[in-house]
Structure 1
Amino acid sequence: MNDVLSASGGVKQVICINWGTKYGAKFINRLYAMVARNITPPFSFTCFTDTREGLNPNILCEDLPPLEVAAMPVNTPGIWNKSRLWGPKLGSLQGPVLFLDLDLVIVRSLDVFFDVGGPDDVVMTRNQTTPFEKLGQTSLYRFPVGKLLSLQQAFIADPQGIADKYRFEQRFVTKNAPGGPLFYPRCWVLHFRQDCRQPWPLNYLFAPRLPKDARVVIFPRTLRPENAILGKFYNNGATTIRDHLSRTFDKSRRKSTDGPFSHLRHYIKPTKWVEDNWRE
């Protein structure tokens, strides 16, 4: 048994967080099922949530940890509610925990994410969109319970100021994690749009690929797993070549933020490997 697992009593501790109505039971249950299929026991799966309706009974549920701020920041792209997990206590958990976003897809074993670094390290996924800034990604990262308390305290003291300065919570963690973060290999956690989706014009010929070293695929922003399964770039996106062409030449059918050729570039074929893995 390595030192990371020794610090958590030999149990691989996986956590997620859910609030509001954006995701809910479908995403939580599917994430749990993917974890269970891709991890060597013993493990625990804990969801910190404001509702427990419809959840698999094997999921350990905890209330959302408190976050004593007068108001959450506005006009910020960061997911700052994740800072709830940075307190001195995290339900009944102790030692290192592996955090997973609700909308990612697990395709191979998670065991290796408990092998990197030591029990007191913060270990982050590489942020694929900012290679020169060397940022971490909080879609998947590991940290010891209580290690990020100083970050939570700084955020509570000035939530809007922190959000304005760092914009994204992952930049805040990368720049301020005590001792600095370690990073998982870049090839383990991939970005669906950047690493899997075929570039134009190959997107019309081939479905998004799954590189052989990938273990987890993340879906930031609007392209979510259910969209990839159907071959859509976002919830109300086109699903056929004819519809993409129609939106290209008919401005009234495009999103206001799309240019005339966005739909040609956005076209993706239905992605079978997402369907095969993103399930209960």
Structure 2
Amino acid sequence: MLIDSSTADNKNIKQIICIKWGAKYGAHYANKLYGMVSRNITPPFRFICFTDDPTDVRPEIECQELPLLDVTMPINTLGKWPKSRLWGEKLGDVTGVVLFLDLDVVIVDSLDPFFEYGEPDDVILSYNPSNPLEKLGQTSCFRFQVGSMVSLQEKFKADPQGIADKYRFEQRFVTRNVPGGIKIFPKKWVAHFRRKCRQPFPLNYFIPPKIPKGARIVIFPGGLYPTNAINGQYTSKSADNAADHLRQLKDSKNLKHPIRHLRHFILPVGWVKENWKE
């Protein structure tokens, strides 16, 4: 069941937050995320979306204004630096522990363990498999206590472009600068779609991507979104069938990297379609 925000000081209430700005992600992303959360959590819970445009967002979602942050956001950088708005001393009327989720994740199992793991004061990121030797966290799914990351916001505000140039990704900045260090959720809980779900070549032409054993959330970094997975596309510009994908090998760009092109094919993913819905 949803709860009224006036009762939000109850420590048993699970609080999920997301952030939506600009035009890249429409209201349907927030609506589907809410649907997945509601089917995979033991109530009571709150679902709060910090946004600059609440148009068409379903009424069960608490829409609150984007937290103010008087800085010029970095340009020509890869990280999602507007997430820094969430690091302030206050976060709307939300207090206590929150679980942040990117709008384009797919939830495939219960979220309850994310609220039971570690201590309430911990900043806990999901495991990032992209740079295993670096022990980097991933902020597509992370948990923190509101107000515990103020020092990071202050560092960022002092030199936004310099911080972005140095760390490139906001998750690296968070990993390296959280007071007392971060913790990491169990690796298997949060699966990277490209790295953990796709089949290796040549099986990718015969077997669709799988849900890894133990996964609770599947994240979609790198330009491959749930809609692409449903359609059987590696990116929005990719072919959605094997014949057309193989024909694209004739393009000069693909001829330079034929093995990579052959690996970059997926069959339509039914389990994404089954889960990614309101």
TM-score of Structure 1 vs Structure 2, range by shorter chain: over 0.9
| Alpha-carbon contact 1:46-1:60 (below 8 Å) kept | yes
- Cα offset for 1:128? 1.1
Residue 132 of structure 1: SS of its match in structure 2?
helix
Q: CA deviation at 1:178?
A: 1.1
Name the Cα RMSD after superposition: 1.5
CA separation in 1, counterparts of 2:219 and 2:266?
A: 16
* Residue identity in the other structure for 2:70: E
Q: Which residue is equivalent to 1:130?
A: 131
Structure 1 residue matching 2:18: 3-state secondary structure: strand
**Displacement after TM superposition at 1:139 (Å):** 0.1
> Which amino acid in structure 1 is aligned with residue 103 of structure 2?
L
Q: Are the aligned partners of 1:197 and 1:208 in contact in 2 as well (CA < 8 Å)? A: yes
Aligned counterparts of 1:163 and 1:49: Cα–Cα separation in 2: 22
Partner of 1:65: 67
Using the aligned pairs only, state the percent identity.
Answer: 58
- 1:36 alignment partner AA: S
Q: Which amino acid aligns with 1:44?
A: R
Tell me the equivalent position of 1:26: 28
Cα distance in structure 2, aligned partners of 1:97 and 1:178: 18
Q: Is the 1:123–1:143 Cα contact (8 Å) retained in structure 2? A: yes
Shift of 1:80: 0.2
Contact 1:123 1:142 in 2 (8 A): yes
Residue 100 of structure 2 corresponds to: 99
Gaps of 5+ in 1: 1-5
Aligned ranges 1:189-228 → 2 under 5 Å: 189-228=190-229
- SS of structure 1 residue aligned to 2:243: helix
Q: What is residue 263 of structure 1 aligned with on the other side? A: 261
User: In structure 1, which of residues 254, 267, 276 is the aligned counterpart of residue 274 of structure 2?
Assistant: 276
- CA distance in structure 1 between the aligned counterparts of 2:139 and 2:123, rounded to whole angstroms: 11
TM, length-normalised to structure 2: 0.94
Aligned to 1:17: 19
The amino acid of 2:22's aligned partner reads G
TM alignment of 1:170-249, pairs within 5 A: 170-249=171-250
8 Å Cα contact 2:124-2:182 kept in structure 1: yes
Tell me which stretches of 4 or more aligned residues in structure 1 moved more than 4 Å.
none
Deviation at 1:9, TM superposition (A): 2.7
Please tell me whether the aligned partners of residues 8 and 96 of structure 1 are also in contact (alpha carbons under 8 angstroms).
Answer: no
- CA shift for structure 1 position 8: 5.0
CA deviations over 1:8-37 (Å, ceiling 9, x no partner): 531100000000010121100000000000
Residue type of the partner of 1:267? F
Deviation at 1:260, TM superposition (A): 3.8
Task: Name the SS for the 1:180 alignment partner.
Answer: coil
Deviation track 1:110-161 (CA, whole Å, cap 9, x = no partner) reads 0000011111110110111111100110000000000000000110010011
Query: Structure 2: any 5+ residue segments left out of the alignment?
Result: 1-7
Instruction: Letter of the 1:156 partner, please give it.
Output: K
Count of residues paired in the alignment: 271
2-structure distance, mates of 1:115, 1:217: 19
Please state whether the residue corresponding to 2:188 is helix, strand or coil: coil
Contact in 2 for aligned 1:14/1:99 (Cα 8 Å): yes
What are the superposed Cα offsets for residues 158-211 of structure 1, whole Å, 9 maximum, x if unpaired?
001111111100000000111101110000000000000001111011000112
Q: State the distance in 2 between where 1:261 and 1:28 align.
A: 36
Q: Structure 1 residue 212: deviation in Å?
A: 2.5
Which of 43, 48, 53 pairs up with 1:46?
48
Contact 2:188–2:213 (8 Å) recurs in 1: no
Q: Report the equivalent of 2:4.
A: none
CA contact (8 A) 1:7 1:96 kept: no
Q: Closer, same or farther in 2 for the Cα pair 1:165/1:236, shift >3 Å? A: same
**What is the rounded CA distance, in whole Å, between the counterparts of 1:239 and 1:202 in structure 2?**
16
CA distance in structure 2 between the partners assigned to 1:75 and 1:54 by the alignment: 30
1:261, distance to aligned residue in structure 2 (A) = 4.0
CA contact (8 A) 1:97 1:143 kept: yes
1:7: how far off? 7.1
TM superposition shift of 1:263: 2.9
